[in-house]
Structure 1
């Protein structure tokens, strides 16, 4: 029987070259300190505790450096959690929660806005706005990635790269654990690439357009059709 502690323990056990595990690792170049993975793990635990009766699993391809790398939550930027986002309420993610940032505002790797407000990822904004519009984000939807860790380019931690097939093989096993933790969720793939990958592993899913590269309106319309209501 899968429980949240076991699931997080299994996530924390993963290590691989050119992959950052936000619940295990600490990057001196841009993290606030060795406590950063502890904070991110606590965020993920709280996130899952609030969603034990979720009906939908929205799943993209891999964790990004502007999102889950620092927040510890897939498709969720730390700017949202810090309450510094203009469009997304922080309480929709973790309820009443004392969030501590994990990116270092003194790091030379951050630009001025990131130092002041934390990292932000445009895709995260579109996804959370769409879910909040339907009143589902706080309890009915879990956001995840097929490869739940952050794959980065060599010698550049704050970059994103496409996960390899062996990485996806590993990642799908974590997705199956999540489905055991919260069973009977309807799986919604964010983007055709994610859908094709899930189907290759014989995991049934519904696909919605990815919000990036001009797809925000199509994503909102597809979510509205799926969940009911207006885009």
Structure 2
């Protein structure tokens, strides 16, 4: 078992509380294709292993989004990217080899684009495009979250995002342990905190981010782009 395998096993073994979806362990029959947890574990393994020796920057955001990592298995990355249906980010930028299988079911309540191409997440597109636009090669940055799973409001179904400010103390502790395990794989002095929740989580494990970027969701894109651009332009 490799170090990446061991890390993924840690994620897989975490207990999911009410309002939390673990994409590397669980399958929702309404939304997920058969074998989707296995597919997402394979995606994450290939993604992380491709960056073990090359990653210069570590970006840590808040939590998995229901349109992004919840289906792709990779933080701040949509399944549309890995399936070959994203206009700016081809599969090879994310994973070695050919395009991978989507894990979302084709459903009647999806729009036609989602039915044909899979789920897409605005935050994922902003993050990837910004890093690439300002000179980072695809394997020079690795993406993760302070809370690695998908938190949602149970009363509203699972296809929604619960804010990081609404995470419980137990969830924050779980996130802390997983974040420490992640940095055992990717120690770095070029850590970018994406949003205040991420900055607080990093501080809790003794990491001072080299850059604090605005959360790009909900109108934060201009500030996020400016923050990342200013930081990357100072790097050799």
TM-score, normalising length: structure 1? 0.91
How many residue pairs get matched?
227
Aligned mates of 1:95, 1:135 — CA distance in 2: 20
Q: Is the aligned partner of 1:194 residue 2:198?
A: yes
Aligned mates of 2:76, 2:137 — CA distance in 1: 12
Aligned partner of 1:173 among 159, 164, 177: 177
RMSD: 1.9
SS, match of residue 173 in structure 1: helix
Q: Is the aligned partner of 1:58 residue 2:59?
A: yes
The equivalent of 1:30 in structure 2 is 31
SS, match of residue 139 in structure 2: coil
**Runs of 4+ residues deviating >6 angstroms:** none
Aligned partner of 1:215 among 206, 220, 235: 220
The equivalent of 1:123 in structure 2 is 123
Aligned mates of 1:211, 1:219 — CA distance in 2: 5
The equivalent of 1:183 in structure 2 is 187
Contact 1:128 1:137 (8 Å CA) reproduced: no
Contact 1:60 1:191 (8 Å CA) reproduced: yes
The equivalent of 1:152 in structure 2 is 152
Aligned mates of 1:110, 1:193 — CA distance in 2: 31
Deviation at 1:30, TM superposition (A): 0.8
Deviation at 1:216, TM superposition (A): 1.5
Contact 2:68 2:79 (8 Å CA) reproduced: yes
Contact 2:84 2:99 (8 Å CA) reproduced: no
Structure 2, gaps ≥5 residues long: none
TM-score, normalising length: structure 2? 0.89
Deviation at 1:200, TM superposition (A): 4.2
The equivalent of 2:76 in structure 1 is 75
Q: Is the aligned partner of 1:204 residue 2:200?
A: no
